[in-house]
Amino acid sequence: MRKLRIKHTLRVVLASQKEQIRSETAFLANFWADVLTAIIYVVTQTVFIDLLFRRAGLIAGYSRNDFFFLMFVNQFTYFSTTRLLALPMFLLVDSVRFGHFDLMMLRPVPLRAYLYARAIKPISTLLAAVPSLLIFGAMIDWSRLNIGLSSVILGIIVWISGYFIFRTFIFALAYPVFTEGDATDSLSGFFWTASMNQMPYQNLPQFMKVLSLFIIPTLLMTAGTVAVILMKGTSATIVVSSVAASLLLSIVFKIMWKRALNNYSSASS
Amino acid sequence: MKSNTAISVEKLSKEFRLRGNRHILSGIFRPEWQTATAVSEVDIAIASGEAVAFLGPNGAGKTTTTKMLTGLIKPTSGQLHVLGYSPFERNYAFLKKIGLVMGNKAGLNWDLSARQSFELLQKLYEIPISAYHGRVKELTELLQVSHVLDSQVRKLSLGERMKLELIGAILHDPEILFLDEPTIGLDISSKRNVRKFLSYLHEQGKTLLLTSHDMDDIVEVCDRALVINHGRIIFDDSMDKLSHQYSNIRYARLEFVDASPNRSFAEKYGEVLEAKGNKLVIGADKKQIMKVIATISDKYPIQDVAIERVPLELIIEDLYTKTP
């Protein structure tokens, strides 16, 4: 039964994504601006980092090559969090505000899976993310990175933990829409966290490291992950604390989601 | 619960928490909350296959009740079963058996054609592919929208869009259909078409709960009325019984050669509904109405007369005003 339900959900997710692709390609010009913005950002960042490291060989224990790797992970995190987690929350806030959430609730599929499938735009995500990742990826001398199989696995664990922490964090910002009727401004607040990701993790003050577990999870996902993969600092502490925080916050997320639906009053007809 | 009961509701209530502060600053720093009762201890029983009108003035609790029946919002208290399910549990088998049409909400993707949106619905509701094609063909032909099935939804007229929304809501062949203002904003021809279609669904044995401010929708589709006001049911019986207590009253629609008599003059003979220009609408007992017309026409020559039963709008309005 459970297997059948998962199969059905997957079929619906695929069909929703197919519909999204059709929607996206109906307005082709729409996403070229996105691609252009991403490329301009990457090029300016690349030039800036290059200039910076010509004057100083190492910054906070990071070489030019390490720093490009940090930027690579930063971009990967940025696109994953904004496109796969933040966009669904913006859709959630809008649909609750304007009453379209009613129609989502009536569909015989897991509500969150359906919400995410309706919000994620596969084509524009790929078109914006791939050029950025390719440019930063090309700037890295992969053979000179100080990485090992175990450090990569631990880094992926930290990143996934951060992903679940971020899911709770961004939902907490969207939650007021269920109690107050709007959360557009609080949700937009997540963008400030994106500007705090490009800092070497092990050099951060202790309070920032703790904060990254709960309110700046993208910092953990980028700087924390890179510190673990490049074996800089105390990896065990980062891994254990991020896994523990993600488990705790996943429980918080489930409780909040249930409370949100109980509080849902549905926009008037 | 009887086996043929589609909807069973006992002492259903819903309260909302509202912000009560009048001043902006105190509202931010010290919010005060008030409780508003939208629905209060409502009892409803609807059998399978009934077409029931759910009527009430704005803010009476119709939409809140419908949303509780469809599982969109959680009741504050009371018992509620729809087809044997507790709606708020969002059981998938339950969701496959109900359909909801909201006249002012779009379920179809505006950037795509209706056919493309229907394809997603086919996957969502796991409709067998052959049944799906047959149903799309049948419904689009019945509602006369086959020719726009492949046009982008945003380019369609309101009437075409509404008909396609209706098809989207019943594509999975639900047992119960909740309709909230399904003909809102439509032209006369589209309204007629939608009503005919709803009557067809009723004949097919579907249970309908129809909320509408358009009394023609109600008269043509429903055989029972539930009237709600201030969150309480104030009438629950057949459409015939609803108009029965007004069956002895008639309205005369008079058109005078010159200006109509003033209101105070006309009020001596019956209840004046309208007195404008050379027109007057006056109500009286059906045995007296001819005498009233004759008396008035003695002083004010009449060029046209029409005698009507009490319109449903007025019956309902009268019910509302009688509610404390």
pLDDT tens, residue by residue, B222-241: 999 999 988 999 989 988 88
Shared domain for B222 and B254, answered yes or no, is no
B261-278 pLDDT, tens digit each: 888 888 889 888 888 889
Q: Cα(A183)–Cα(B116) distance, rounded to whole angstroms?
A: 32
Q: Which residues of B touch A16 (CB under 8 A)?
A: 120
Query: What are the distances in angstroms from CA A95 to CA A227, A266, B106?
Result: 39, 10, 11
Q: Strand pairing of B249-256 and B279-285? A: antiparallel
Shared domain for B268 and B225, answered yes or no, is no
| Helix-helix angle A122-139:A64-79, to 10 degrees | 180
Residue B247 corresponds to which tokens in the numbers above?
């069956």
Shared domain for B293 and B145, answered yes or no, is no
| Structural domains of chain A, count | 1
Q: What is the CA radius of gyration of chain B?
A: 24
Q: Strand pairing of B279-285 and B271-276? A: antiparallel
B26-74 pLDDT, tens digit each: 666 777 778 889 999 999 999 999 999 999 888 889 999 999 999 999 9
In this complex, do B74 and A23 lie within 8 Å of one another by their Cβ atoms? no
What pLDDT band is residue B217 in, cutting at 50, 70 and 90?
Answer: confident
Collect all residues with Cβ–Cβ distance below 8 Å to A62 and sequence separation of at least 6. A70, A200, A232
Residue B158 lies in a domain: yes
Shared domain for B220 and B300, answered yes or no, is no
CA distance B72 to chain A (A): 6
Cross-sheet strand order for the sheet of B271-276: B271-276, B279-285, B249-256, B302-309
- Model ipTM? 0.81
Shared domain for B184 and B284, answered yes or no, is no
For residue B41, give the amino acid letter: E
Residue A269 lies in a domain: no
In this complex, do B92 and A262 lie within 8 Å of one another by their Cβ atoms? no
Give the mean model confidence (pLDDT) for residues B241-265.
86
3-state DSSP: chain B helix, strand, coil percent, rounded to 5?
35, 30, 30
Shared domain for B172 and B96, answered yes or no, is yes
Is the distance from CB of B190 to CB of B163 less than 8 angstroms?
Answer: yes
- Interface A-B, measured as beta-carbon pairs within 8 A, has a size of 77
In this complex, do B112 and A262 lie within 8 Å of one another by their Cβ atoms? no
In this complex, do A106 and B102 lie within 8 Å of one another by their Cβ atoms? no
Residue B306 lies in a domain: yes
CA distance B286 to chain A (A): 40
Is the distance from CB of B236 to CB of B226 less than 8 angstroms?
Answer: yes
What pLDDT band is residue B17 in, cutting at 50, 70 and 90?
Answer: confident
| Helix-helix angle B129-142:B158-170, to 10 degrees | 140
What is the CB neighbour count within 10 angstroms for residue A57? 8
Residue A176 lies in a domain: yes
Q: What is the CA radius of gyration of chain A?
A: 20
Residue B3 lies in a domain: no
B71: left (phi over 0), alpha (psi -120 to 50) or beta: left
Q: End of a domain among B192, B209, B243?
A: B243
In this complex, do B109 and A19 lie within 8 Å of one another by their Cβ atoms? yes
Least confident of B14-28, B50-64, B232-246, B306-320: B14-28
Q: Cα(A114)–Cα(B289) distance, rounded to whole angstroms?
A: 62
Shared domain for B279 and B302, answered yes or no, is yes
Q: Angle at CA B245, nearest 5°, toward B241 and B251?
A: 120
Collect all residues with Cβ–Cβ distance below 8 Å to A110 and sequence separation of at least 6. A9
A164: left (phi over 0), alpha (psi -120 to 50) or beta: alpha
Question: Would you say residue B119 has pLDDT above 90?
Answer: yes
Residue B220 lies in a domain: yes
Q: Cα(A216)–Cα(B60) distance, rounded to whole angstroms?
A: 46
Nearest to B95 by CA among A11, A197, A105: A105
Query: What are the distances in angstroms from CA A101 to CA A19, B107, B123?
Result: 18, 10, 19
CA dihedral (B288, B290, B294, B300) positive or negative: positive
| DSSP 8-state assignment for residue B74 | -
CATH of residue B171's domain is 3.40.50.300
B157-169 pLDDT, tens digit each: 988 998 999 999 9
The neighbouring-strand residues paired with B208 are: B51, B177
In this complex, do A103 and B105 lie within 8 Å of one another by their Cβ atoms? yes
Place of tokens 């104030």: B234
What is the reported pLDDT for A193?
Answer: 64
Residue B8 corresponds to which tokens in the numbers above?
């069973």
Among A12, A19, A262, whose Cβ lies nearest the Cβ of B116? Answer: A19
Nearest residue of B to residue A15, measured between CA atoms:
B120
Residue B19 lies in a domain: no
Collect all residues with Cβ–Cβ distance below 8 Å to A103 and sequence separation of at least 6. B100, B105, B107
Shared domain for B180 and B277, answered yes or no, is no
Give the mean model confidence (pLDDT) for residues B87-105.
90
In this complex, do A27 and B111 lie within 8 Å of one another by their Cβ atoms? yes
Segment (H or E) for B8 = strand B5-19
Collect all residues with Cβ–Cβ distance below 8 Å to A191 and sequence separation of at least 6. none
Alpha helices in B245-288 (DSSP H): 263-266
Give the mean model confidence (pLDDT) for residues B123-142.
93
Residue B317 is part of which domain span?
A: 247-322
Q: Which residues of B touch A11 (CB under 8 A)?
A: 123
CA distance A269 to chain B (A): 7
Q: Which residues of A touch B70 (CB under 8 A)?
A: 106
CA dihedral (A73, A91, A188, A243) positive or negative: negative
Residue B57 corresponds to which tokens in the numbers above?
């003035």
Shared domain for B108 and B213, answered yes or no, is yes
Interface of B with A in 253-272 (CB under 8 A): none
Q: Cα(B166)–Cα(B102) distance, rounded to whole angstroms?
A: 9
Q: Cα(A212)–Cα(A196) distance, rounded to whole angstroms?
A: 10
The pLDDT averaged over each successive group of 10 residues in chain A (269 residues) is 83 88 74 76 84 78 87 90 91 90 92 92 86 89 89 94 92 90 81 63 71 75 90 84 94 96 80
CA B270 to chain centre: 31
Interface of B with A in 97-116 (CB under 8 A): 98, 100, 102-107, 109, 111-112, 116
Among B90, B103, B126, whose Cβ lies nearest the Cβ of A8? Answer: B126
Q: What is the three-class DSSP state of B32?
A: coil
Nearest residue of A to residue B31, measured between CA atoms:
A180
CATH of residue B262's domain is 3.30.70.980
Is the distance from CB of A198 to CB of A222 less than 8 angstroms?
Answer: yes
Is the distance from CB of A174 to CB of A187 less than 8 angstroms?
Answer: yes
Q: End of a domain among B225, B243, B261?
A: B243
In this complex, do B102 and A108 lie within 8 Å of one another by their Cβ atoms? no
Residue B71 contacts A, CB cutoff 8 Å: yes
Residue B204 contacts A, CB cutoff 8 Å: no
Q: End of a domain among B199, B224, B243?
A: B243
Shared domain for B127 and B231, answered yes or no, is yes
Shared domain for B174 and B252, answered yes or no, is no
Residue B28 lies in a domain: no
Residue B85 corresponds to which tokens in the numbers above?
């399910």
Residue B22 lies in a domain: no
Best residue in B120, B154, B166 for a mutation probing chain A (most A CBs within 10 Å) = B120
Q: Strand pairing of B33-47 and B5-19? A: antiparallel
Shared domain for B111 and B202, answered yes or no, is yes
Q: Strand pairing of B51-55 and B224-229? A: parallel
N-terminal to C-terminal alpha carbon distance within chain B = 32
Residue percentage of chain B with pLDDT more than 70: 95
Best residue in A14, A106, A112, A268 for a mutation probing chain B (most B CBs within 10 Å) = A106
Q: Cα(A212)–Cα(A159) distance, rounded to whole angstroms?
A: 12
What is the reported pLDDT for A240?
Answer: 93
Best residue in B73, B89, B98, B113 for a mutation probing chain A (most A CBs within 10 Å) = B73
Q: Which residues of B touch A26 (CB under 8 A)?
A: 111-112, 152
Q: Which residues of A touch B106 (CB under 8 A)?
A: 100
Q: Which residues of A touch B126 (CB under 8 A)?
A: 8
In this complex, do B72 and A11 lie within 8 Å of one another by their Cβ atoms? no
| Structural domains of chain B, count | 2
Residue B176 lies in a domain: yes
Residue A108 lies in a domain: yes
Question: Would you say residue B1 has pLDDT above 50?
Answer: no
In this complex, do B120 and A23 lie within 8 Å of one another by their Cβ atoms? no
Question: Would you say residue B2 has pLDDT above 60?
Answer: no
* pLDDT higher at B11 or A231: B11
Is the distance from CB of B184 to CB of B211 less than 8 angstroms?
Answer: no
Residue A94 is part of which domain span?
A: 2-263
